[in-house]
Chains A and B, each alone.
Chain A
Amino acid sequence: MSFTRRAFVKTVGIGGASLLAARREAWAGLFQGSGAARPPRPLLLHNNENPLGPGEAVLDSVRRALAEGGPAGRYPFEHVAHLHQAIAEKFGVSPENVTSGCGSTQVLRVAVQTFTSPAKPLVAGQLTYEECAGYADLIGTPVRAIPLDRSLKLDLDAMAEAAKGAGLVFLNNPNNPTATLLTGDAVDAFIERVHSAAPDALVLIDEAYHDYVTDPSHRTQAARAVKDPRVVVARTFSKAHGMAGMRVGYAIGHPETIKRLDWEGSMALNVAGIVAATASIQDQARLQRESARNTEARRFTIDWFSKAGFASTDSQTNFVFVDIKRPAKAFRDTCREQGVLVARDFPPLEKSHVRVSIGTLDEMKRATDVFGRILGVTARAA
């Protein structure tokens, strides 16, 4: 017999006021007895996820939406408008300044699709988030990959030089995987230089880790993007918002640019993600708590590596990039054997550096115990 929403609400034992009281753990607990026991999971420090996931208010919104509104069976595009409205309100802009995607990855791909061609290359750091370059390869767009500078920051001078004739310049700030930040002033100046070198090129600023930045010299480029058709800012709900599984990202920009970025429409967005993102963008307090939590765990991790004799870059993200003075692969493989997953190789630095995501403080204590054994660090160092 067909399933009804009322039965759903009954089954899961919630409804009315108790919705708000339902805790995430309690909710999960309702079902844990019914499934087969799962093997213990390794520490997941390889994909820069928020270890706590979305906030309770966010999950309550999804529960409420799916229980009361039953939209899981309906195409979700009307809800996208509510999400765009909520994002626009958060930035003090208009919904025409907002578009969204299946994670910011879709936004990035579409930017490459619509602003580059075989004749209009992509400019990107040689060691940066790979989505743009990967998609450029697929569609036959040449990539000008600019090596990092000696401090493992994106080399803005060289990138601006390379921008001449380009269709798109990709700037990940802070940069994944190096965790480094470019100051607001530096990015401002860079944009001006790109504009004069390549007036038609779009500068795509990927601010995926924005909410984890603690350096006061940082500035989002969202305000500029709204006014400047040649700048767009990409953001994601996969990091500080803790929604990597729900696949929602967005872009802020000039209406003209936003319209071009609507190339694939909103077909890839799911209703749970849309509802969750709409709730999450309004929960600034939780973002601040998450940033504080991450900052403490990040400090602990960087200090541990430092005391053990391994330098990290100045991380402004939820991961650290560490010179472990040995190939990442062997380190990673041994970590996996001992129950800790760390990130993949990042050439050309795969012989010396590893990226480690920041979990909870407790997870980082357990992880650094493992790292200590593998790196031959004595208890004194840790």
Chain B
Amino acid sequence: MPVSRRSFLGAISPGTAAYSPAIVAARGREAFTAGGAAPTPRSEAKILLDSNENPLGPGRAAMEALTRAFVDAGRYPTNARPSMGDLREAIARRNSVKPENVSMGSGSWELLRIAVRLYTSSSRPLVTAAPTFEMPEKMADQLGIGVRRVPVDKDGRLDLDAMAQAARWAGLVFLCNPNNPTSTLHPARAVADFIARVGQESPETAILVDEAYHDYVTDPGYATAVPLALEHPNVIVARTLSKAYGMAGMRVGYAIGQKHTMDAFNRWGITFNQNSLAVAAAIAALDDPAHIEAERARNTEARAFTTRIFKDMGFRVMDSQANFVFVDIGRPAKAFKEDCARRGILVGREFPPLQKTHARVSIGTIDEMQRAGVVIAEVLGGGRPAPAGSVNEPRRPR
């Protein structure tokens, strides 16, 4: 269903135009993290393929729970019913862990930043990939902590061997799996071997596995690192409800780890870092796994379609296990982004060191991807997008 963002904004705050804070605010999490000006305000764009959001938003159960929670909007989230404590239990239930193994954040960004604070120092740097999600290295920069950036391999996969070497004497390794922005995955065995190797070679080094895109993975070789986090005091898994759960606007993320580790995270979290409406919505969403399965199927289909658009134009697309694709467009991402934005399509920002050749495009609905495909084909000059008729052949989402 098309969503008129313009009419929404008009209803709330008529006549608002972009002005200076809007330049910061007019970006999704991704752009916000990286800095730099947005070419087009999001409210004026037709299709938002820049921040890896679920285009359909939360499921019905979540929205109904959210509106039920209005009666307690005046109560702190610990007093509201359901409460933050109830959400902690729902998260634990969903992941088959104990509530004491869960720490909650206002999105996983907060937990990523806490991990940098807890485990790095001036003598114990952060190890991260290039490119990967920038929040941990941004935090390290803010704190004046050193960062070792390990380039991804030619297929866009995290170079686990080089990262393990860089991990010696490091405070924290940030492992985004699947990796944003390259969309690639490491299977369960590779992650387990990496954790074991770092544990042996640099036992004091913590490893944060960011599984923001967990629910979009379809590769059968994949498994969550949650069991490893329960096993090792220095391993933490971060998750978010901003992606498949469609709740980027509601700000819910969580970490899973050993009790002692989570206690430390809890000390650093913003007081009342989740709002009462999000708490209710998140509980309902976590207790509705069928909705997430349907969302995964929907994304998988749209992802295959999007991949084909680019491949048909002759561009190489990395093997995506997320709700975005990373494409070798053979030209700078900046110009591509700006050209798309002028035509009402927002795509991902620059991702150094691959910003001269690669672009990230989030997966919207099939309808959105069809329309975006036409624009992208125009911008990239080459061939044509896939014929519209072919969309109807594959299976429908459940």
Contact = CB atoms under 8 A, between A and B. Distances in A.
B245 to A, nearest CB: 9
Nearest to A70: B3
A272 B62 CA distance: 14
Given A11-B60, A245-B275, A266-B25, A68 B11 contact: yes
Contact of B12 (A65, A70, A95, A105): A65
B72 interface: yes
A234 B185 CA distance: 44
A93 interface: no
Interface in A72-130: 72-82, 84-86, 95-96, 98, 102-103, 105-106, 109
B25 to A, nearest CB: 4
A53 B25 CA distance: 27
A77 B8 CA distance: 15
B21 A95 contact: yes
Interface string B1-36: 101110111011100101111101111110010000
A8 interface: yes
Contact of A278 (B13, B21, B69, B109): B13
Contacts of B107: 267-268
A188 B397 CA distance: 64
Interface in A266-310: 266-273, 275-276, 278-279
Contacts of B28: 74-75, 77
B276 interface: yes
A128 B396 CA distance: 59
A267 B68 contact: no
A85 B13 CA distance: 9
Q: Which of B21, B64, B281 has the most CB of A within 10 A?
A: B21
Given A69-B4, A73-B53, A81 B59 contact: no
A196 to B, nearest CB: 31
A44 B56 contact: no
Interface stretch (A24-32, A141-149, A199-207): A24-32
Nearest to B23: A81
Nearest to A105: B271
Given A73-B56, A266-B25, A31 B67 contact: yes
A279 B307 CA distance: 42
B21 A64 contact: no
Nearest to A238: B76
Interface stretch (A54-62, A161-169, A325-333, A342-350): A54-62
B75 A245 contact: yes
Contacts of B76: 47, 49, 238, 244-245
A69 to B, nearest CB: 3
A17 interface: no
B270 A268 contact: yes
B83 to A, nearest CB: 10
A12 interface: yes
Contacts of A59: 70, 73
A44 B43 CA distance: 40
A141 to B, nearest CB: 14
Given A3-B57, A72-B58, A77-B28, A244 B74 contact: yes
A279 B75 contact: no
Given A1-B398, A72-B66, A242-B74, A268 B110 contact: yes
B186 interface: no
Nearest to A52: B74
A105 B272 contact: yes
Nearest to B43: A78
B156 interface: no
Interface stretch (B246-254, B327-335, B381-389): B246-254
A268 B273 contact: yes
Nearest to B252: A270
Contact of A53 (B75, B113, B294): B75
Interface in A231-266: 238, 242-247, 262-266
A12 B75 contact: no
B74 A73 contact: no
Contacts of B274: 247
Contacts of A27: 67, 70
Nearest to B48: A74
A4 B56 contact: yes
B268 interface: yes
A222 B295 CA distance: 47
A71 B26 contact: no
Contact of A246 (B110, B276, B298): B276
Contacts of B80: 245
Contact of A82 (B12, B29, B270): B12
B277 A3 contact: no
Contacts of B298: 2
A7 interface: yes
Contact of A24 (B62, B70, B247, B267): B70
B66 A272 contact: yes
Nearest to B13: A82
A72 B270 contact: no
B51 interface: yes
Nearest to B32: A77
Contact of A73 (B11, B32, B57, B71): B57
A50 interface: yes
Q: Which 9 A-B pairs have the closest CB atoms?
A: A69-B8, A53-B74, A73-B57, A245-B276, A271-B249, A81-B22, A268-B106, A3-B60, A81-B25
15 contacts: A2-B294, A2-B397, A7-B60, A8-B63, A49-B74, A54-B73, A70-B57, A74-B28, A74-B51, A75-B28, A77-B29, A245-B73, A267-B32, A268-B273, A272-B277
Interface of A: 1-8, 11-12, 24, 27-28, 31, 35, 38, 41, 44, 47, 49-54, 59, 61-66, 68-82, 84-86, 95-96, 98, 102-103, 105-106, 109, 131, 138, 238, 242-247, 262-273, 275-276, 278-279
Interface of B: 1, 3-5, 7-9, 11-13, 16, 18-22, 24-29, 32, 41-43, 48, 51, 53-60, 62-64, 66-81, 106-107, 109-110, 113, 142, 242, 246-251, 267-268, 270-278, 281, 291, 294-295, 298, 397-398
